[in-house]
Amino acid sequence: MRDIADGMASRGYYALVPDLFWQLEPGIQLTDKTDADWKKALDLMTALRKMTLMPAQRLENRAAAFKAKGRIKVGADADITVFDADRVIDKATFEKPLQYSQGIQFVLVNGTPVVSDGKLVAGVLPGRAARAAQ
Residue 11 has pLDDT above 60, yes or no: no
Residue 26 resides in a domain: no
User: Would the pLDDT of 26 be above 60?
Assistant: no
The size of the chain, in residues, is: 134
pLDDT at position 54 is 92
Report yes or no on 114 lying in a domain: yes
CA distance 113 to 1: 39
Domains held by the chain: number: 1
What tens digit of pLDDT does each residue of 73-123 get? Answer: 898 887 899 998 888 888 888 888 888 889 999 999 988 999 999 999 999
Domain limits at 112? 78-123
As to burial, measured by CB atoms within 10 angstroms (0-12 exposed, 13-18 middle, 19+ buried), residue 35 is: exposed
Residues 6+ apart with CB under 8 A from 119: none
Residue 18 resides in a domain: no
Domain assignment present for residue 84? The answer is yes
Tell me if 27 is assigned to some domain: no
Q: Which amino acid belongs to residue 19?
A: D
103 in any annotated domain: yes
Which residue did the predictor score with more confidence, 76 or 15?
76
pLDDT band for position 43 (50/70/90)? confident
Structure confidence at residue 118 (pLDDT)? 92
